[in-house]
Amino acid sequence: MGGASLPPGFRFHPTDEELVGYYLKRKTDGLEIELEVIPVIDLYKFDPWELPEKSFLPKRDMEWFFFCPRDKKYPNGSRTNRATKSGYWKATGKDRKVVCQSAVIGYRKTLVFYCGRAPLGDRTDWVMHEYRLSDDVSQGSPVFQVIHMSFV
Amino acid sequence: MGGASLPPGFRFHPTDEELVGYYLKRKTDGLEIELEVIPVIDLYKFDPWELPEKSFLPKRDMEWFFFCPRDKKYPNGSRTNRATKSGYWKATGKDRKVVCQSAVIGYRKTLVFYCGRAPLGDRTDWVMHEYRLSDDVSQGSPVFQVIHMSFV
């Protein structure tokens, strides 16, 4: 669906539960996704302002979704500073549980982009929610995270 | 599309401009609408809690959209109390302009539902935004309003 437009008034506004329980779970399980609206990218190869043009969805809402292969060096997602060419993403706050019918199906980490080098970078308005499955112990298949990036 | 479901994460969240400039304008002009997501109903024949089941869209967002033929007795929309079987809709605040590229294309009126008879009814959490075109001088064809109803 790259570049296709939705009918007027339709938006991709998934809940955390839909994003993790449907999109991320099916992607990691290698199952078909009804509409391929979330592209796979190598997130840290890009500065945040380079990412919107890689989104499959219209850009007017100032939010974008991506799958990103999970970095195997940090299996529990505990790396807090992730560098790009012009700056770094820094985690803020505590990870939040994503719950479906009382079961924890994943976690959401919030990160903010800083221009420059840690710890002296300048905070920007680029924000990322990074979602991981709670049970993504890799067994050879690629493991993904799903990213909700916004400019707030 | 009655009863059809959208892929996970997709919502019908039109802006005022899309609702008036695309959906209401095309409906009143008798033109085709890409996805028939808004049913025509005679709004005041129903109490608000009877309306959600008449919506074509999934109900989880607690908001619903309807076309309603415009009451010819009140061409400027100035009737403020509109009775149903169990209560009445009462306008609140001033009408707001709906603007597209600096031009006023319509107006939005906000109404709240009260149970009982005016002026002694009890305010409820049912809210309606009623949109009309700014230039809907009827020339024989049916004139519509579009309603965004929510339970807040």
ipTM associated with this complex: 0.78
Q: What is the pTM of this model?
A: 0.74
- Which residue in the block uniquely carries the two structure tokens 């009655």? B2
> Position A144: which residue type?
F
pLDDT at position A76 is 58
**Range A82-111 average pLDDT:** 94
Statement: residue A146 has pLDDT above 60: yes
pLDDT, average across residues A105-122: 95
Which contiguous run of DSSP H or E holds residue A51?
none
C-alpha span between B108 and B116 (Å, rounded): 25
CB-CB contact of A84 with A44 (8 Å): yes
CA distance, residue B23 to nearest chain A CA (Å): 8
Q: Would you state the pLDDT for residue A128?
A: 96
CB contact under 8 Å between A13 and B10, yes or no, is yes
pLDDT tens digits, one per residue of A12-67: 989 999 999 999 999 998 999 988 889 999 999 999 999 999 988 766 678 999 99
Residue B76 pLDDT grade (very low, low, confident, very high; cuts 50, 70, 90): low
Residue with tokens 């938006």: A11
Distance CA B128, CA B111 (A): 5
User: pLDDT band at residue A72, thresholds of 50, 70 and 90?
Assistant: low
Average pLDDT over all residues of chain B: 86
Confidence of residue B62 (pLDDT cuts 50, 70, 90): confident
Instruction: For residue A11, give the nearest of B13, B19, B34 by CB distance.
Output: B13
Q: Report residue B3 as tokens.
A: 């009863």
What is the per-residue pLDDT across A115-128, written as a single tens digit (0 to 9) for each?
A: 999 889 999 999 99
Percentage of chain A exceeding pLDDT 70: 83
pLDDT tens by residue, B81-101: 689 999 999 999 999 999 999
The alpha carbon dihedral of A40, A44, A46, A47 has a sign of positive
Cα distance between residue A118 and residue A83, in whole Å: 9
- Is residue B4's pLDDT more than 60? no
> Is the CB of A13 less than 8 angstroms away from the CB of B12?
no
Q: Which residues contact B34 (CB under 8 A, 6 or more apart)?
A: A7, A8
How far apart are the C-alpha atoms of B51 and B113, rounded to whole Å? 13
pLDDT band with cut points at 50, 70 and 90 for residue B58: low
Residue B35, chain A, CB below 8 Å: the answer is yes
For the cut 60, the answer to whether the pLDDT of residue A3 exceeds it is no
DSSP state string for chain B = -TT--PPTTEEE---HHHIIIIIIHHHHTT---SS--S-B--GGGS-GGGSGGG-SS-STTSEEEEEEEPPTT-TT----EEE-SSEEEEEEEEEEEEEETTEEEEEEEEEEEEESSTTSPEEEEEEEEEEEETT---SSS--EEEEEEEE-
| Higher-pLDDT residue of B78, B33 | B33
* Residues from chain B contacting residue A12 (CB–CB below 8 Å): 9-11
Decide if A22 and B9 are in contact by the 8 Å CB cutoff: yes
> In this complex, do A19 and B9 lie within 8 Å of one another by their Cβ atoms?
yes
A11 contacts on B by Cβ (under 8 Å): 10-13
Cα separation, B6 vs B58, whole angstroms: 8
B23-44 mean pLDDT: 91
Among the partner-chain residues B13, B19, B34, the one whose CB lies closest to the CB of A7 is B34
Residue A119, preceding bond cis, omega within 30 degrees?
A: yes
In A, minimum Cα distance to B5 occurs at A34
Whether B9 sits inside 8 A of A9 (CB atoms) is no
